[in-house]
Each structure stands twice: as structure tokens, then as C-alpha cells.
Structure 1
């Protein structure tokens, strides 16, 4: 049985808490590894290690830090297949989907390679008589990331790449459900030339999380997960004076206008709603056709596509999606389907009885499709995080616009239409952080910023893009005056430029 410890000070170490968690292989339902769960003392040791290593790293010039990022990209490409296989076997997503997970993370590493430019300050010569003013960006010190199971490669890289490029040391607390890939990424960073102690991976549960939040040497925390935990982490981090960017749940809507290309729309809904078994914070989980005729055309095309989804083991390259991450996750999603039926929604496709031949103990579930869902229902209000799509029929455009705008979550939304005026109006008015126009999963590219509104995001600065550099640095402004031989005498009023 494989045993997973922690990665601290440039090497993997065994856990000493005596507590472990099972890491399952979702395809088979079998336990494939045990991962150590860190104590508060173990977390403190990792933080002290990072604190000792950080000053020398901060003093390393940005160009040399960028070269290490470039070398990491090269090594990650070398081990691409190995990383994807481990990710698929621990998470359950298919290997092609796992490669997408890795690639979207590497794109943020590519962005971080531009750190010599991204950290440049500003300079004003002659701001006053003989006075120059300039600003500089400096790293915070030791920062941390608490990342979820559903993107075990992408989101850790979204966090640690810009943070480390800025000159910080980083503590990564990944999900204990699939910790293998984060450990591998830390090893690759070390091989790329990152000094020991700058990237540490400490596996754990709530005890490790609270240790991060309460530690005085952690200056900033990034989190992705559920909204209740995001709010908890944001509030507890703020109480101890930390910066925090915490991203929570989602209920992403797709608005289907009467003029939409229905075949392209259904393709988009199938991929965005059921890919990765729906375990994505940017998954489309609500389809909103505008008008009864649009709804009827949508359901006519959607039902057979959901019925014919190919579910398979993660290693099957032809599968549309694989198993869910754990049996608990599977039972939770089935519970939501039962709730939807009880609430009066019409279950047009029921995938709860799906069994994978030869993998009967795996965590598989067929696609489910609800029709006639209403905003009062629990299955509309809450994030299901599984292969379940709900159809909410809207009478007109204004009702369709209100649905995502009034929902407590505001992560992503999409509109499908041929009408440029409608799309422009929707993008301007909808109360959601990321908008797709004929794009079902509007995850911005790495040099833009990623973040939702309302209960999907807590904190002022988002992930990757320019916001990540602002989040992981502090600005220092210097006002400089060199004596010119003129003695003006003491001034007792506030300085001005008059």
C-alpha cells in the first residue's frame, strides 16, 4: 500500500501525527494509498522551514525566478503522461480531462514567467521641487493555498506559481482525497531549481487548515471549495490580519435564446454539464431556455444525448466522463436527485442505476436530467456537484436575466444566441463574475483574472492574471529628495507640491 507523507524542506517526509486518510481509486472503489494528516505542530515546522528559506528567495532577482518557472514547464511537459495518469487514478476524471486540468495550470505558470515585467513599479521624476517618487512591489513572506479535490493540478499551480514568482515561500494544503499530483508538482519544482523550503506540501484536514489560519507567520491565504468553508476561512484569516481570497460554490446558468443554434447549444451543455462528472465549479448545472417552444426543442435534442453518454473508467480515452471522487460524493449526488423528485421536478433521464461492467464497486453514476425545475427547489438553490442538469423554463428574456442575477451564487454564466445586441445587454447587466457568449465554461485565459461574485467569492482580489501579482505583493512608495544646497527651514504643515 502506497504511503503519502508531506513535502517539506525539499524532501518527502513521513507524517508523525499518527492520523491518516484513505485515498481511493474511484474506478474500482479500492483504497490505493494512505495519506498522512498533519498536526498543528507539523504545520508549524513546515511554516518555520519556509520562513527561513524565503528571504534568500526574495533577494533572488525576478529574471532568475522566471527561469526556474520556465524549467518547471519543461519538466512538467516531460512528465505530462505520468501526471495525468496519477491524477485520473486518484480523482476519477478521464485521462484527456486530466491533461486539460494540468494544461490550464501550466498556462498560469507561463504567465508567471513574465514576473520581471509584472513586478515593475512606477517612477515619477520631478514630482515636486527636487523630489522624485517611485513605487516597488515586494513579496509578503510566507503565504498559503488550500486547494480542492476537483482540480488537483490546476488550482495548486494557480496559487503557487504567481506567489513563488513574486518571491514568497508557499505552503500548499491540497485535498486529502487526491494528494498525489501536488506532491509530484513539488518534486518537479525542486528539480527545476527551486530552493528547498520555498514550496512545501502539507497534507491534512481541518486541523491543518486551522493551523494555517492561526499562524502569525502566514501573511496570505488562498482557498477554493464550498461557500460555507470559504466564508469561514475568509473570516478567520481576516481576524488574524491575513489577506484572503476565498472562492466558493457555484450554480452556473446557461441562457438559451430562441435564435440559438440548438445543435451547438446541446453540444455545449453536454460537455459543460456532464464533463468530469459535473465535479467542476464552472460546470453548467442550470439550462434556461427562453420560451416554451425553445424549451421543447431543447429537451427533444437533450434527452437522447444524456441517455447516450458514455461513462467509463478513467483510463478509457473514449469515455465522456468517469466516476465521482468518493462513494460519499456519489451518495450525496443521488440524494439530491431523490430530493428533486420529491420537490416535483420531472426527472427526464435517471442515471442513478448505472453500473460499470467489471467495475461494479466504482463510484459511477449515469447522467441525470431534470425538467420543470423552479427557483424554490433545493436542487436549484444548492450546488449538486455531480452529473445532474436542471432545466428551468423562462417565459422571456427578462426572467432569464433575473435567474442568475438573483441567485446567491455568481460564479459563471453563459448565453447562447445569434443576436449581438442581446448578448451585449446580457453581459452588461447580469450579476455574475464571469460571462460566456456562446462559450459554456467561461474560464478566462491566464493573463485575465478568475473570480466569481456574491457567495462564490470572498475577498477583493481574484485568482491569476494581474490580480494575483497584487495579492501576493505589497506596494512600497518612496518619496526622495536630495539636498541641493538650498535651506528652506523647518515646515510644520503637511507637505504639498505647491
Structure 2
């Protein structure tokens, strides 16, 4: 059985821990690897390695750091299929979606601490290339459910020439997170994951004087105006809702969507549009949420519970699901992120009578990550983007994630911190401003100061 390694001081090492967790293929339940919950000594060694590497790396000229990043970009492009296969095997995405994750991560890398990361390939690429290019050294903790792609990226980083200690990789769950939050030599923490974990990491990290950015949950609403192009809108929202994104606020489109949902299958199978959810627990939680919505009066137009796939009887299958007639009074489904192929819908003219009411529904939600408006009206688009209290807005675009040189700007309950991930704010997060005020007098005598021999003397006023 393959065991996941630690990366400490440039060496891939077997952990000495006695605590291990299984990494499973969500389509088959096969154990594909064993992951160590690293010991305190191993964690401290990783942090010390980064601390030791920092003085030299921070003074490495930026063009030399950039050269390593460009070499890494080339290697990621070359190994994209292997990275995507790892994501599919451990996380369940289709190969097409997994390749998209890697490609998207490359965008942030091209624009190019302690990091806790709940995602597989894309999110580490939001973090460690930018952090290290800025002169930091990093300890990365991948998700314990799908560490394979992160480990492959670490191998490629070393091959690209990243010096030992600049990137270390540890594994674990709660204890490793707490060590990250409490260690005095870790100055900044980047996190992507659940609301509960993000709130905990932000509060405990800040209490320990650390800079923290925490990207958390999302409830990505979409508003479809009566003048929207129905065919283009159905195609866009079907891909968004059933391509691992979020639910939608829609009008007269239910029939078109019900007839156009994709094929459920193992992610590596040809023609698969939708893979399994990551764990049996996730499947049970999603099915409970669907049942709760139905019990509270929603109409199930398309039911993905109890889905099965030939040849994969043990997979964590949840098929595309559409619940219509959902209202804010239903509580659970409209308000919570389900991380499921489930589309919960309000009806235009019945549950939302105007654009203003649709905006108020979105603004009443605790999350403010992304939202979209489908319309042919420039005036409606202007009103929507001005009044909606959400950080990323798409107009006729279902998932409004901007180009990599912009930051990922979730608002309200979707983000804790003051500097967002990647883009200009990402660079600001991974750097600090130092202000130096000097005064030189012509009468100051030049010479070698004790303790600075070898630095070189200069004559003030002659530069």
C-alpha cells in the first residue's frame, strides 16, 4: 500500500507516526494510499527548515525566484494529465473538471507562511507559488482526503529548482492545524475550506498575532430575468449547478434543465459529466438536505438520491437534483451551501416578483462569494451589480471567477481577513511594507564599522 510522504528540508520522508488515515477513491471506496498524521516533532522540523531557509531565499533576486516559477509552470503543463488523474482518483472530479482545476491554478501561478488547504490541485497553486515568489518560505498542509496532487506539485517544485526548506509539506487533521495556528515562527496563514474551520482558524490565528486569510463557504445565486436568452442560460446554469458549483435562482427554465442534465459516472470514464461526491458522509449529508427541502414544501423536479452507476456499486453517487418552489422560509436549502449537484430554485413572478426582491434574497444570505444575472438589459445589469452585496458578480456568466491577476473577492461570511487571495491583494498579503527614513551628512566620516567588516564602506552623498 502506498504511503504519503512528508516533505521536510528538501527530502521526502516516511513519517514515524502511529496514526494514519485512509485516502479512498470515492467512486470505488478503494484505499489508494495511507496518509500519516504527522508528529509534533515532524511538524516542528518542517517549520524549522522553512525558518532556516528564509534568510537566503528572501535575499534571492526576484528574477532568480521568477525563473524557478517559470520552470515550475513548464513542468505543471507537462504533467497536467498526471495531476488531473490524481485529482480524479482521490477527489472524484471528472478528468475534464480536474484538468480545468490545474489549468486555472496555472493562471494564478503565472501571475506570480503557513498554509492549510482543503482542495487538491488548484488552491495550492493560489498560494505557494505566489508566497514563495514573494520571498517567503512555506509549510503546506494538504487536505487529508486528497493529498496526491499537492505532493506531485511539491515534487515538481523541487525539480524546478526550489531550494530545500522553501516549501515543506506536512499532513494531519486537527492537531496539525492547531500546531500551525500556535507556532510562534509561523507569521501568516492562508486557508480555503468550510465555514466552521475557517472561523476557527481566523479567530485562533489572529489571537496569536498572525496574519490570516480564510476563504470559506459560498451560496452562489443566479438571477434569470424574463428577457434572458433561454438556451444560453440553460446551458450556462446546467454546467454551473451540476459541475460542482452551486444552486441557482431561476425562472421558467426547469423543464429545459431537467432534460439536459449530464451523465453520472466515474470521473475517468469516457462521457462522464459528473463524478461522485467525496465521501459517504458527504452523500448522507446531501441527501438529508434534499429530504429536508422536500419536507418543507419544495417540489422535487429531478431527484438524484439513490443514484447508481453500473460497475461502481460502492461509489458515493448523488445525481443531478432540482428542487423548485424553494423559498427563504424553507431555511436549510436556500441558506446553506450544499456542495452538491443540487439546484434549488425560486420561481420568477411567484417567489420573486422583481429584480429588487431577488437582490434582497441574495443579500439576506450569510455568504457573499459569487452571484450572476442573466439578462439582455444593460439597465438591469447596472442595478444588479451596484446593489447586490456580493464580492464577485457575473453578468451572463454563471461562475464569476475573474482572471488570475484580479483577486478572489468573496465578501461577508465567505471570507475572513482583509487581503484576498491571489492578484494584487495576494501579493500584499505575502509581503510587508518597511519604511526607512535616513539622513546623511557630508561631514559623516566613512569607514569600516566593527561588526560590518566585509560589507564595504561607502562615501555618503556620492551615490
Distance 1:412 1:50 in 2: 35
Cα distance in 2 for partners of 1:339, 1:39 equals 41
Asked if the contact 1:10/1:197 (under 8 Å) is kept, the reply is yes
2:117 paired with 1:108? no
SS in 1 for 2:199: helix
Runs of 4+ displaced beyond 4 Å = none
Match of 1:430 among 385, 388, 394: 388
CA offset at residue 428 of structure 1? 1.2
* Kept in 2: contact 1:17–1:39 (CA 8 A): yes
Q: 2:451 corresponds to which residue?
A: none
Query: What residue in structure 2 maps to residue 125 of structure 1?
Result: none
**1:411-438, CA deviations, whole angstroms, 9 ceiling, x for partnerless residues?**
0000000101110111111000100000
Query: Is 2:253 the partner of 1:298?
Result: yes
CA distance in 1, matches of 2:408, 2:86: 26
Asked whether the 8 Å contact 2:301–2:322 carries over to 1, the reply is yes
Question: Which of 157, 165, 177 is matched with 1:197 structurally?
Answer: 165
The residue matched to 2:371 in structure 1 has which SS?
A: strand
User: What's the offset of the Cα at 1:399?
Assistant: 0.5
Q: Which has the higher contact order (CA 8 A, sep 6+)?
A: 1
Alpha-carbon distance in structure 2 between the residues aligned to 1:382 and 1:41: 39
Question: Residues 362-411 of structure 1: CA distance to partner in whole angstroms, max 9, x if unpaired?
Answer: 11111110001111221111111111110023111110111111210000
Q: Give the one of 265, 273, 294 matched to 1:312.
A: 265
With 443-452 and 313-322 compared, the bigger mean Cα shift is at 313-322
Query: Which piece of structure 1 moves more, 18-27 or 60-69?
Result: 18-27
Structure 2 unaligned blocks of 5 or more:
445-463
Aligned residue runs from structure 1 range 471-490, under 5 A: 471-484=429-442
SS at match of 1:29: coil
Q: What is the CA–CA distance in structure 2 between the aligned matches of 1:322 and 1:235, rounded to whole Å?
A: 35
Counterpart contact for 2:218–2:414, Cα < 8 Å: yes
- Matching residue within 391, 407, 418 for 2:345: 391
**Structure 2 equivalent of residue 285 of structure 1:** 247
Structure 2 residue 194 is matched with structure 1 residue 226: yes
SS at match of 1:83: helix
Q: How far is the alpha carbon of 1:317 from its aligned partner? A: 3.7
2:461 match:
none
Q: Could you tell me whether the CA contact under 8 Å between 2:246 and 2:337 is conserved in 1?
A: no
Q: CA deviation at 1:480?
A: 2.6
CA displacement, residues 214-246 of structure 1 (integer Å, 9 cap, x when unaligned): 000000001111112111110100011000000
Q: Is the 8 A contact 2:300 2:322 kept in 1?
A: yes
Contact persistence 2:248–2:344 (CA under 8 A): yes
Return the offset for 1:266: 0.8
For residues 449-471 of structure 1, the C-alpha deviation after alignment (integer angstroms, 9 at most, x for no partner) is 00211110000000000001110
- Offset at 1:38? 1.5
Question: Corresponding residue for 1:85?
Answer: 85
Corresponding residue of 1:168:
136
Partner of 1:402: 360
Indicate the SS of the match to 2:309. coil
Which of 326, 335, 351 lines up with 1:381 in the alignment?
Answer: 335
Answering whether residue 191 of structure 2 is matched by residue 237 of structure 1, we say: no
For residue 159 of structure 1, the aligned residue among 113, 127, 144 is 127
Structure 2 counterpart of 1:184: 152
| Structure 1: runs of 5+ lacking an equivalent | 113-142, 290-294, 487-498
2:41 alignment partner in structure 1: 41
- The Cα shift of 1:353 comes to 1.9
How many angstroms does 1:484 deviate by? 5.0
**TM-score for both structures, normalised by structure 1:** 0.86
Task: Work out the CA distance in 2 between the residues paired with 1:89 and 1:302.
Answer: 28
CA contact (8 A) 1:95 1:317 kept: no
Q: Please identify which structure carries the higher strand content.
A: 1
Residue 339 of structure 1 deviates from its aligned partner by 1.1
**Aligned residues of 2:390 and 2:411 also touching (Cα < 8 A):** yes
Bigger CA drift: 472-481 or 205-214?
Answer: 472-481
Residue aligning to 1:133: none
- 1:324: which partner in 2? 277
Query: Structure 2 CA distance, aligned partners of 1:189 and 1:261?
Result: 45
Contact (CA 8 Å) 1:247, 1:451: kept in 2 or not? no
Equivalent position SS for 1:478: coil
Q: TM-score, normalised by structure 2?
A: 0.93
For 1:146, the equivalent position in structure 2 comes to 116
Q: Distance in 2 between matches of 1:428 and 1:69?
A: 38
